């Protein structure tokens, strides 16, 4: 029986059973208990139609597509899908030609650099937050081991590299699980600088293989890896700029300025405008002889082939996305700013705090729930970019060489273009897994950094 018929039948059956239970329970329960039961069942009966609709159009497609990802279901096998296990997932990462670096080696190098940096940061900035002397000694010892391994990485055998990495990972995981490091990490900018410095030094000076280098080589040998590379590039380029500009605009909107309601409306209009209309307008702006190149010519900038050069494909898409979303996120930031009690600012002024100090110690901490929400929403939206590329490049993934191929575009092409529904489902769930991992990391990191003020 088709799902669109089976689910309503099950829903009606559940409704009948609940209705019978509500009527029969009147004779077996006390008046008070029966009244509570009747209210609960009535609530479920009101929710049941919505659940049936959601099951047909949301829950069932999600479950079915996940099952489909383990089958070979294409145009030839449409009537009788063949179970092939994880082959669809393996095919996504299969390279046309081998590259000089394997994924295992890149994975090992990447996570060694991450854990080595964690130990360096703990020794430099967090030892004072550790009261247990044994844990302190283990941290210092592991930092020394990390430093020696970092320097001698290319001399140490592959098996020993794995042993050292597993020891470092297990040790820090155990210390973190036992909550031996107290308090909340501070000096986040300094930590970020140290992380980038160690990572770049490991790549450039020691030549430690890592995942970015691997993807940069393998992306030309597998379309799905190319899609992951392009999507990651887009996320890293668009997200920080969008959030920064949104916060700046929200701070300006928060000031007492004449006509700010008009400006809010102007900034918000791109968000409610059709993506197709927006992309078509920007297609004209980005044209070789378009408005943007015309404006840049006044500053002596040579003509940029925005829509024809592959190096400008992702930045072009990011510009459109930033322009479209910055007004929406600025309104959300503005709502967060208006929710901050002004008495905090008044107390800070009495203490002689300047504007920057008020922002750092009052606005930014109390704006953290709003920032956290925007981080989650913007990241999920950025990973799902598709419409702008499809319209801007007239149904193609970029001008050439798949320079605009993203994961969602890859899913679309596999499903509608090549009729390989199994591989498309597998790619969709890999994207789901990537988004889930980054969302989980943000939730874990946000537990100590997000401050909720009643």
pLDDT band at residue 205 under the 50/70/90 scheme: confident
Pick from 138-147, 196-205, 235-244: least confident? 196-205
- pLDDT higher than threshold 90 for residue 235: yes
| Mean pLDDT of the region 10-37 | 82
| Mean pLDDT of the region 168-195 | 81
pLDDT score recorded for residue 445: 77
For 370-379, the pLDDT digits (tens) are 999 999 999 9
Query: How many angstroms separate the CA atoms of 430 and 225, rounded?
Result: 11
pLDDT score recorded for residue 259: 72
| Mean pLDDT of the region 126-155 | 87
Contact (Cβ atoms closer than 8 angstroms) between residue 12 and residue 19: no
pLDDT band at residue 198 under the 50/70/90 scheme: confident
pLDDT band at residue 454 under the 50/70/90 scheme: low
- pLDDT higher than threshold 80 for residue 243: yes
- pLDDT higher than threshold 90 for residue 409: yes
pLDDT band at residue 315 under the 50/70/90 scheme: very high
Contact (Cβ atoms closer than 8 angstroms) between residue 368 and residue 339: no
pLDDT band at residue 59 under the 50/70/90 scheme: confident
Tokens of 51: 């659940």
pLDDT score recorded for residue 453: 63
What predicted TM-score, i.e. pTM, was given to this entire model?
Answer: 0.85
pLDDT band at residue 170 under the 50/70/90 scheme: very high
Report the range out of 39-43, 146-150, 353-357 with the highest average pLDDT. Answer: 146-150
Share of the chain above pLDDT 90, in %: 20
Say whether 405 sits in a helix, a strand or coil.
Answer: coil
pLDDT score recorded for residue 145: 92
- pLDDT higher than threshold 80 for residue 232: yes
| Mean pLDDT of the region 397-419 | 88
Query: How many angstroms separate the CA atoms of 213 and 235, rounded?
Result: 18
Contact (Cβ atoms closer than 8 angstroms) between residue 215 and residue 355: no
Measured in whole angstroms, the distance separating CA 447 from the mean position of its chain's CA atoms is: 17
| Mean pLDDT of the region 81-86 | 86
Nearest alpha-carbon partner for 115 in 168, 170, 162, 157: 168
Query: How many angstroms separate the CA atoms of 27 and 23, rounded?
Result: 8
DSSP-derived secondary structure letter, 284: H
DSSP-derived secondary structure letter, 74: B
Q: Is 207 left (phi over 0), alpha (psi -120 to 50) or beta?
A: left
Average pLDDT, the chain: 86
| Mean pLDDT of the region 48-74 | 86
């Amino acid at each position: 029986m088709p799902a669109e018929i089976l689910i309503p039948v099950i829903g009606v059956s559940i409704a009948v059973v609940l209705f019978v239970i509500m009527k029969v329970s009147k004779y077996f329960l006390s008046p008070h208990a029966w009244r509570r039961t009747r209210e609960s069942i009535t609530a479920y009966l009101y929710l049941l139609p919505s659940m049936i609709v959601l099951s047909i159009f949301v829950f069932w497609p999600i479950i079915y597509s996940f099952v489909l990802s383990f089958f070979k279901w294409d145009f030839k096998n449409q009537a009788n899908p063949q179970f092939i296990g994880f082959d669809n997932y393996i095919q996504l990462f299969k390279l046309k030609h081998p590259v000089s670096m394997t994924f295992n080696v890149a994975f090992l190098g990447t996570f060694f650099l991450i854990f080595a940096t964690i130990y360096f940061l703990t020794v430099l900035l967090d030892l004072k937050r550790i009261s247990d002397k044994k844990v302190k000694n283990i941290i210092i010892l592991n930092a020394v081991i990390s430093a020696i391994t970092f320097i001698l990485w290319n001399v140490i055998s592959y098996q020993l590299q794995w042993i050292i990495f597993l020891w470092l990972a297990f040790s820090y995981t155990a210390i973190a699980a036992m909550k031996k490091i107290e308090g909340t990490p501070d000096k986040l900018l300094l930590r970020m600088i140290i992380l980038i410095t160690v990572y770049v030094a490991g790549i450039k000076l020691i030549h430690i293989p890592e995942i970015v280098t691997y993807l940069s080589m393998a992306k030309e040998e597998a379309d799905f890896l190319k899609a992951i590379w392009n999507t990651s590039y887009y996320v890293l380029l668009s997200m920080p700029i969008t959030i920064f500009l949104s916060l700046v605009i929200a701070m300006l909107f928060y000031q007492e300025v004449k006509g700010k309601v008009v400006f809010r409306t102007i900034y918000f209009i791109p968000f409610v405008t059709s993506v197709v209309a927006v992309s078509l307008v920007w297609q004209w702006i980005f044209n070789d002889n378009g408005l943007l190149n015309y404006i840049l010519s006044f500053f002596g900038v040579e003509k940029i082939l925005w829509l024809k050069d592959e190096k400008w494909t992702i930045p072009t898409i990011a510009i459109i996305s930033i322009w479209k979303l910055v007004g929406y996120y600025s309104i959300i930031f503005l709502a967060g700013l208006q929710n901050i009690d002004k008495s905090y600012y008044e107390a800070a002024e009495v203490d002689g705090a300047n504007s920057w100090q008020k922002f750092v110690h009052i606005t930014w901490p109390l704006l953290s729930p709003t920032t956290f929400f925007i981080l989650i929403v913007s990241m999920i939206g950025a990973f799902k970019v598709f419409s702008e590329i499809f319209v801007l490049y007239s149904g193609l993934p970029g001008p050439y060489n798949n320079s605009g191929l993203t994961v969602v575009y890859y899913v679309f092409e596999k499903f509608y273009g090549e009729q390989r529904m199994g591989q498309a489902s597998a790619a969709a769930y890999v994207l789901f897994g990537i988004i889930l991992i980054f969302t989980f990391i943000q939730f874990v990191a946000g537990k100590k950094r997000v401050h909720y003020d009643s």
